[in-house]
Structure 1
Amino acid sequence: MFTGIIEGLGTIHSIRSSGQGSRLVITADYLLENTRIGDSIAVNGACLTAVAVSGKRFEVDVSRETLRLTTLGTAKTGERVNLERALRLSDRIDGHLVAGHVDGTGQIRDRQAAGNSTVVAIGVPKSLSRYLIQKGSVAVDGISLTVNDCDDAGFTVSIVPHTGRVTTIGFKQIGAPVNIETDMIGKYVEKFMTGSKIETTGKGKAGSGVDMDLLAKTGFL
């Protein structure tokens, strides 16, 4: 679990095939203190497991599914990436809860100066835009951002100077692909409200979801 507050940037040092996936070697801009093999590190918002760590450099294996769903599938040597190590229970959550399970990709469609900030418009498929709400949270390349406006075709976010300086969104240009993770709460609510079968713990029975009749019967309406 992550917060979407990027710790720093890194550079992809090398990429090589590993089975049906890839092995990435990444050099961080900062010392990875207390990071060990097996720890989770979000790379552009995708949760990956460190399989080797030495100073500022670490290695991760990327599965075929992650390569398919994220921009890591088209990543190049020398590319700059956002990095965040996993949340500790004692940490403050300054962003929002980010699982590191990227839902898909979007594309930067516009960048416009707005006072001291930059408004970035990002296009996404309807399968992702359905989970976006105005003033809700979204992770873009692992960065926790607030949705300004949204419609079926995409959304806009405001990038303050600090975020622009310390993350990749400060220099990504129109047309660049970005990883998108929508707020997990919306996906759970949709599953409950649409009546999807939910397995209960222990006995394997299925529930029928939440509908208006159930809310009325239980006194919520």
Structure 2
Amino acid sequence: MFTGIIERTGTIVSLTDMGGVRRLTVAAPEIAGQLREGDSLAVSGVCLTALDVNPELFHADLAAETLAKTSLGALAAGSLVNLELPTAAGSPLGGHIVQGHVDGTGELVSLKPVVSESSPHFDKQTTDWTLRVRVPEHVRPWMVFKGSVALEGISLTIADFDGEIVTAAILPLTYWRTNLHALAAGAPINVEADVLVKLAYAKLLDDEKPRFELIEAWLVAEGF
């Protein structure tokens, strides 16, 4: 389990086809040394297994489902990715429950500073930003105003949702610590809905289903 609190970014070195899977290589000198072969970690919100680890980088295999549901297979060498180690038992839950099971890939609509860049008070290092992401249609029922969502693995609060586009506020620390500052409009964004919202939604749908009742008319009709 993860919490969506990004610790470091890494840089994609290569993506190599390996007969059914693609081998991802990530340079991450600030975090690779903490990994062991077989450890889990989140890469831009995608839970992966670390392979062939050394102090400078790690590898991970991307299965067909990962390639279909996430942006990782489409990224080029040099792309920044967000990295998070699993949350240890008993640790504070700083963000929200993030499984690393990406629901789909959205699209970055815009990422703009709250203060106009022409303003004398604009400072790129300290300003807040407004992030807008178009989420996939099948994920939209789980977007809840003031609820949580993981975008690129980052735990964020939904400040607005118009039925298609999620808006979230980005603090300067988040902007610079994550890969957001390196993304442009149109970039693919990994989206994971809050698992608690998904469970509640599934329960609601289940409650609306008509319940089967064993009655005499049904028994007669079925030949009992």
Fold conserved between structures, TM > 0.5: yes
Q: Which has more strand, going by share of residues? A: 1
Shift of 1:41: 1.0
Which residue in 1 is equivalent to 2:27? Answer: 27
Which residue in 2 is equivalent to 1:126? Answer: 137
Which residue in 1 is equivalent to 2:169? Answer: 158
CA contact (8 A) 1:125 1:152 kept: no
CA distance in 2 between counterparts of 1:77 and 1:170 reads: 17
Q: Alignment RMSD, CA only?
A: 1.7
Which residue in 1 is equivalent to 2:205? Answer: 194
TM-score, normalised to structure 1, is: 0.85
Shift of 1:213: 10
**Are residue 93 (structure 1) and residue 93 (structure 2) matched?**
yes
CA contact (8 A) 2:11 2:28 kept: yes
CA distance in 2 between counterparts of 1:15 and 1:183 reads: 29
Which residue in 1 is equivalent to 2:154? Answer: 143
Q: For structure 1, which runs of at least 5 residues remain unmatched after alignment?
A: 196-209, 215-221
Shift of 1:182: 0.5
**Are residue 75 (structure 1) and residue 75 (structure 2) matched?**
yes
Which residue in 2 is equivalent to 1:176? Answer: 187
What is the aligned-residue identity percentage? 38
TM-score, normalised to structure 2, is: 0.84
CA contact (8 A) 1:125 1:154 kept: no
From the CA coordinates, give the structure whose radius of gyration is larger. Answer: 2
Shift of 1:73: 2.1
Q: Which moved more, 1:41-50 or 1:117-126?
A: 117-126
Which residue in 1 is equivalent to 2:122? Answer: none
- Deviation by residue 1:165-221 (Cα, 9 ceiling, x = unmatched): 1001123111111100010111111222212xxxxxxxxxxxxxx35999xxxxxxx
CA distance in 1 between counterparts of 2:209 and 2:9 reads: 47
**Are residue 39 (structure 1) and residue 39 (structure 2) matched?**
yes
- Deviation by residue 1:143-169 (Cα, 9 ceiling, x = unmatched): 111111002211101111000110011
CA distance in 2 between counterparts of 1:125 and 1:63 reads: 21
Shift of 1:90: 2.7
**Structure 2: which amino acid aligns with 1:179?**
N
The correspondence of residues 60-71 of structure 1 with structure 2, limited to 5 A, is 60-71=60-71
CA contact (8 A) 2:15 2:73 kept: no
Structure 1 residue ranges, 4+ long, deviating more than 2 angstroms after superposition? 31-34, 210-214
Which residue in 2 is equivalent to 1:109? Answer: 109
CA distance in 1 between counterparts of 2:50 and 2:111 reads: 34
Shift of 1:137: 0.6
CA distance in 2 between counterparts of 1:38 and 1:102 reads: 20
Q: For structure 2, which runs of at least 5 residues remain unmatched after alignment?
A: 116-126, 212-224
Residue 192 of structure 1 aligns to a residue whose secondary structure is helix
- Deviation by residue 1:53-110 (Cα, 9 ceiling, x = unmatched): 1103111011011001100121111111111111111321111110000000111112
Count residues in correspondence: 200
